[in-house]
A and B are shown apart, each in its own frame.
Chain A
Amino acid sequence: MNDAALKKKSRFKFRLSTVVITAYLLFLLIPIYWLVIMSFKSNSEILGAFTLFPENFTFKNYQTILTDASWYMGYVNSFIYVSLNTVISLTVALPAAYAFSRYRFFGDNHLFFWLLTNRMAPPAVFALPFFQLYSSVSLFDTHIAVALAHCLFNVPLAVWILEGFMRGVPREIDETAFIDGYGFTRFFTKIFIPMIAPGIGVTAFFCFMFSWVELLLSRTLTSVDAKPITAIMTRTVSASGLDWGVLAAAGVLTIIPGAIVIYFVRNHIAKGFALGRV
């Protein structure tokens, strides 16, 4: 193959990959665009005229949500249990992940797989038992109940990701610190945690994400006081069924927190999805 042919070939490849990625991003963005556009339309325009861009740009749908406590408290509730869950998951997962990444101990492999099985359990299986369990300890309709229930899949995931990241830290560092007279707790908090800070950030991101997007368990475990925004949305759909504008606006508002957190972890996100194993 001569130079010209090679050049021609690589330019063709460049174009092909651009076409693929552009088409894929369009495929991702068009449905979201439609939702965003719809949230700025009035209901009569949504149902009547078919327009690619709102003719009468309106913030009324957002106003409805942001002024009605039964709507915006849903966001507050979601934030409370998602944050609780992230903190609990990280706190218990950090030492466990360290143990799995550094030591062999009786039953370690079985234990690790057993933890993973909880990530594999369909939430539908747990919906009813959770409802009964948390009702019997009178935690039903509290934020902590949802946060604990989401630990079912977030703790195993956190252990898995953190273990992947910790494996990448050379063991000589631990040994040197211990020789230098560091105790375990001081070594762990002062030296080790700062070293895997990106891993912790990514793990927090995943805990946030999976707790934020989950509906089945959070809906089953709440009724009024801790009802998440996602459940409020489904209730409104079934009750009025027609208020598409408000529904779209509520949907858009659930996308924004995710978009913000992605921005912060964008450089580590690929490694995080690979569970720290790349």
Chain B
Amino acid sequence: MEKTVNQRAWLLVIPVLILVAFSSIIPMMTVVNYSFQDTFGGNDFFWVGLEWYRELLHSERLWDAFGRQLLFSFIILAIEIPLGILVALSMPKKGISASICLVLMSLPLLIPYNVVGTIWQVFGRADIGLLGRVLSDLGISYNYSQNAFDAWVTVIAMDVWHWTSLVALLSYAGLRSIPNAYYQAAMIDQASRWNVFRYIELPKMRGVLMIAILLRFMDSFMIYTEPFVLTGGGPGNATTFLSIDLVKMALGQFDLGPAAAFSLMYFLVILLISYVFYTVMISIDKSEAQQ
């Protein structure tokens, strides 16, 4: 049914506008201000125009962090989305076992980010961790704080551990909404398992999968606390992702100008990619509403 036009609906939105403006627009303006200015400490600021942006676009450090970030988000999506779908397909459909699965799977999602880092720290360490100990007993050399490759594997395993359940829960919700008649029809047609997945389940999960991809992309692209606790961005700069680099610049070195310019470009990249996802999502919503 079409929504009715009512301009007074604005009144209902005003509280949200005020609150979000206070916590978003005002701080954002500070960032914009800083990004065009330089300071020698104190409150003496002077205008430097696009200087910081020019500097950052030629900064190898930033491009390296950006490359690592893209690679990380790509690997995360490539593992978590298929794995999440597989887990959702394997979940019990109803009864007490389904409830237990739901509760256990949600557990990692509710653990504070730094505790997630701590869990993997004490799990992976060669001296006290179960994983580190078992691997070294098997004769596999593994040390996430020394070896860059091991650090990457651990950070990715940690994120898969932390967030795959989100994808699985979303897909599960999508699967539950498929009427039984669809499966009965497929059975009469003697459709193979793959065809049932390809032509019934996957299309019906399209909407929720878009949400999953959007959320996982956004959150993996701004990941900070978990790798910060686990590796501190190391060894060297191997796991220094954009947020870690930015916090180092802003709160560690107090390079306000460059950090502000960095922030704005960072935000714009996320915004741009998310806008594409969002537009696709809305059009899926609409096409489903028409069906």
B73 close to A (CB within 8 Å): no
Given A118-B20, A120-B271, A266-B103, A96-B266 contact (CB < 8 Å): no
- Does A28 belong to the interface (CB within 8 Å)? yes
A117 touches B251 (CB 8 A): no
Residues B112 and A121 in contact, CB atoms below 8 Å apart? no
Chain A contacts with B in 120-174, Cβ cutoff 8 A:
120-130, 132-133, 148-149, 151-152, 155-156, 159, 171
**A-B pairs with CB below 8 Å: how many?**
283
Q: In the complex, how many angstroms separate the beta carbon of B130 from the nearest chain A beta carbon?
A: 5
Q: How many residues of B contact A (CB 8 A)?
A: 97
A35 near B119 (CB under 8 angstroms)? yes
A55 to chain B, nearest CB (A): 15
> Is A31 a contact partner of B10 (Cβ separation < 8 A)?
no
In the docked arrangement, what's the CA distance between A209 and B106, Å? 11
Chain B residues within an 8 Å CB radius of A38:
122, 128
- Tell me which of A159, A255, A261 has the highest count of chain B C-beta atoms within 10 A of its own C-beta: A255
Name the residue on A nearest B225 (C-beta).
A215
In the assembly, what is the distance between CA of A205 and CA of B106, in Å?
12
B86 adjacent to chain A (CB < 8 Å): yes
Cβ contact within 8 Å between B190 and A263: no
Given contacts A118-B20, A125-B31, A128-B256, contact A262 B103 (CB under 8 A): yes
Is B173 among interface residues, defined by CB-CB distance under 8 A? yes
**Residue interface bits A29-42, CB-to-B below 8 A is 1, else 0:** 11110110010000
Q: Measured between alpha carbons, how far is A35 from B120 in the docked complex, in Å?
A: 9
Count of A interface residues, CB-CB < 8 Å: 99
Inter-subunit contact A28/B107 (CB<8 Å): yes
Partner of A20 from the list B4, B7, B86, B128 (CB cut-off 8 Å) is B86
Given A31-B119, A104-B3, do A124 and B243 touch, yes or no (CB 8 Å)? Answer: yes
Question: Is A123's CB under 8 angstroms from B19's CB?
Answer: no
Knowing A92-B16, A115-B20, A275-B211, the reply to whether A24 touches B87 (Cβ < 8 A) is yes
A270 within 8 A of B: yes
Pairwise interchain contact A13-B193, C-beta atoms closer than 8 A: yes
User: How far in angstroms is the closest Cβ of chain B from A222?
Assistant: 14
CA–CA, A251 and B113, complex, Å: 11
Least CB distance from B96 to A in Å reads 11
A225 CB-CB contact with B under 8 Å? no
Residues of chain A contacted by B174 (CB below 8 angstroms): 274, 278
| Chain A, interface SS category | helix
Chain A proximity mask over B119-130: 1 for CB below 8 Å, otherwise 0: 110110001111
* Interface 1/0 per residue, B14-33 and A, CB below 8 Å: 01110110111011101100
Contact partners of A29 in chain B: CB under 8 A: 104
Contacts of B250 in A (CB 8 A): 124, 127-128
The stretch among B51-59, B74-82, B145-153, B162-170 that forms the contact with chain A is B162-170
Interface: A233 (CB within 8 A)? yes
Given contacts A21-B87, A99-B13, contact A215 B103 (CB under 8 A): no
**Distance to closest chain A CB from B129 (angstroms):** 7
Is B172's beta carbon under 8 Å from chain A?
Answer: yes
Shortest Cβ gap from A257 to chain B (Å)? 8
Chain B residues with Cβ below 8 Å from A116 are 274, 278
Q: Are B161 and A27 in contact (CB under 8 A)?
A: yes
Across the interface, which residues of A come within 8 angstroms of B86, CB to CB? 20
Contacts of B109 in A (CB 8 A): 209, 258
Q: Is there an interface contact between B173 and A271, defined as CB atoms closer than 8 Å? A: yes
Q: How far is the CB of B194 from chain A (nearest CB, A)?
A: 12
Determine the chain B residues whose CB is within 8 A of the CB of A91 once the complex forms.
15
Type the 1/0 row for A241-253, where 1 means its CB is closer than 8 Å to any CB of B: 0001001100100
User: Does B140 sit at the interface, judged by CB under 8 A?
Assistant: no
User: Which of B123, B166, B256 interacts with A31 by CB under 8 Å?
Assistant: B123
Whether the pair B9, A270 counts as a contact (CB closer than 8 A) is no
Q: Which of B31, B110, B129, B211 contacts A274 (CB 8 A)?
A: B211
Smallest CB–CB gap between B195 and chain A, Å? 14
Q: What 7 additional pairs, Cβ within 8 angstroms, besides A123-B222, A237-B118, A251-B118?
A: A28-B105, A34-B122, A120-B267, A130-B27, A214-B113, A234-B229, A269-B102
State the 9 A-B residue pairs at the shortest beta-carbon distance, nearest first: A258-B110, A129-B27, A122-B222, A17-B90, A270-B173, A103-B9, A99-B12, A99-B9, A95-B12
Binding site for B on A (CB under 8 A): 1, 13, 16-18, 20-21, 24-25, 27-32, 34-35, 38, 46-47, 50, 52, 88, 91-93, 95-96, 98-100, 102-106, 108, 111, 113, 115-130, 132-133, 148-149, 151-152, 155-156, 159, 171, 209, 212-216, 220, 229-230, 233-234, 237, 244, 247-248, 251, 254-255, 257-259, 261-263, 266-267, 269-271, 273-275, 277-278
A-B contacts, 13 listed (Cβ < 8 Å): A17-B89, A18-B90, A31-B123, A31-B161, A34-B130, A95-B12, A100-B13, A129-B26, A155-B19, A214-B112, A254-B112, A262-B103, A266-B103
